[in-house]
Structure 1
Amino acid sequence: MNEKTTAELEKLRGHIDNVDQQLLHLLRKRLDLVAQVGAVKHGAGLPIYAPQREAAMLAKRREEAANMDVSPQLIEDILRRLMRESYLNEKDVGFKQVKADLGPVVIVGGAGKLGGLFAQMLTLSGYEVRSLDKDDWQQADSIFEGAGLVIVTVPISITCDVILNQLNHLPDDCILADLTSIKSAPLDAMLTAHQGPVLGLHPMFGPDVGSLAKQVVVVCHGRGSEHYTWLLEQIKIWGARLVEAEADKHDKAMQLVQAMRHFSSFVYGLNLYREEADIDALLQFSSPIYRLELAMVGRLFAQSPELYADIIFAQQESMVAIGDYLDNYSQALSMLRQGDRQGFIDQFKQVAEWFGDFAPQFQRESRAMLQSVNDMKTN
């Protein structure tokens, strides 16, 4: 490169650096404005996530970007990342307390990560939160004294035993709820052990989320819904979306969404281990979609084996779903061994037709994910 070219590049790079600095100042200004919005929402008790406002704003910015010959997807990607940061910052100002006269909240299993997350959200909302863990049962009477809400978040394998044997003397006006990923058995146990309001909740996210904005919480009603309406409203203020479901329907879905999916990831990782796969080499030759799949398998093995054992072994019926998956895999493998290429194509078309409009929708959604994965590549 000659001196003239070098000088020209340095000059242009200097201009880019100046623009980047202006962007940083604008980002700081936007975050400050978001903090002011959060304070107003806190006072009014408004959810931190307003889907209609977000959709309208993104549509307007996309239109403006197109008029300026800027990629609409570029501005949407930038704004979505900014909004995610905004939700994290908005949480710092706290949330409006829906039920000011509630007694203490006791979280059974509060030392766990999910219990800790809900303790944080309830504390940010102004409630007194107490934690009760396995070594605290001798002080249980004093911990439960005056409790207005008891939330159970212990391993699935002991949830029903804890409810039936330890939570059968709560005050009648106390709300008893759980955060377990299966709902029928814990809900039945709570209804048996407690005569007051009962509510089953399943947060469809891990405890490492920075904000509940856009997260889903499944609600399975038990008894006395008029007494816990405030709690559902509080969760919505945190930004979560509530999905109501019958407990048995929820558990049936979890056999596919959780048990079968996690078991498949476990077997995938087990196979990589037994094949002594070179993960560094796999990453070198990976397309973004395979890298994402590998990341999801690796994510599983970065977490508690007891947690995933509980999820997979929680429902006896999960073995049926996992067995059906194995049968379908075996049938597809037989097709491959027989060299039945046309049979594969025919079945592919049948499944694609069954997916219908969801297939192109998922293709669009995954495209954005894959672009993000590719942007983060370091090797």
Structure 2
Amino acid sequence: MLKKLLQGAGAALVLSLAALAQPAGAQSPFDPVVRVNESVITRFEVEQRMQFLTVLRQSGLTRDGVIDALIDERLELAEAARLDVTLSEDQLQQAMEEFASRANLSADEFVAAIAQQGVDPETFRDFVRAGTAWRDVVRSRYASQARVSDEEIDRAIALGTGQGSVQVQLAEIVLPLLPETAGLVREQADAIQQMKGFDEFSRAARDLSASPSGDSGGALGWMPLSNLPEQIAPLMLSMAPGDVTPPLPLPNVDAIALFQLRGLRDSRPGVMQNVTLDYMLLRTPQGAAPAEMARLEPLVSTCDSIYSHVSDPGGTRIEHVTGPRAETAAGVRGVIDRLDPLEMAVLPGNSAVVMLCARTPIAGADLSRDDLQRRLFSRKLEDLANGYLAELRANAFIERL
């Protein structure tokens, strides 16, 4: 990795020579901070990636989050190499041009722009290389499984937007994912995913599930579709009762979950129409959102008036968001769907308040069958990829130094 970085640019060489001149005990930018199987992630890479994402104005940026992303990329690139998925220099250049075009720049112009912000060209190349190689791996492995049938599209159209009217009945099986049992868990997950009968799934939940719901056969009961986690809800639109989702990684725990659809009901027929949501998002300390909403409700009469009653010198607490409802995170969308304009609510987790400013139908923006096909295919592929990556993580040697 040191050789690779030294070849990237003269700036890296200057940094490395300066590191050699440091007194004993001083930290070098090329000290490893994480070992991932046979490779390492250096302090230089972490700092460079943080600076790169800062230039891209990525929200919620943390050092731990950057390290986690770099760990994932090491695993993704190693898997690509194992499967002989490689990028030619022309393919990499094309991917860089495509990325830079989002800012209306050529790749060379983009590299020059980020260099002015202290980002090494090799940081950009590594970022694009990892993402492109992983997409190729996922598509080659799962494209056939993620195909969307006409029946699935018809079902999605029939279900409409799910604004409070669509409910699902689910059962779950949660499997701990540890390095020493990863192979067995993968076999169990593959077998569970093939199950169609409710009784068979319930027996497996009682025998295998680490969730408290296992005692009741994994049953979760009826719930609004909009209340489901963002990675799960779209899957329900392309499933029939009895179908089981791919294994999905659970946040903050070493486990995967599989969900069986047992029922789906919708009291309102309609079509999947895009609606523009205009809302304010106010972040608060953990648990403080209810009190903050109670304070603001008698004071705030318009969305813009929030700025007069909330101190936000760093511009990090208040966010004014406008965008299609279909692209809004499921947790936020589920709360906003219950609001009238200028009403407030607390988001799950009690760390943010949302205020709906307006909800506007997009004229002529009913989703076409092609749009639905692409969205459903992309979501299926993403969920399969997340499960794949969780398995790679479980099987990997990862040591934070």
- Alignment TM class, shorter chain as reference: under 0.3
| Max Rg structure | 1
- Bigger share in strand: 2
Q: Relative contact order (C-alpha < 8 Å, sep 6+): which is higher?
A: 2
TM-score when normalising by structure 1: 0.26
Structure with the higher fraction of residues in helix conformation = 1
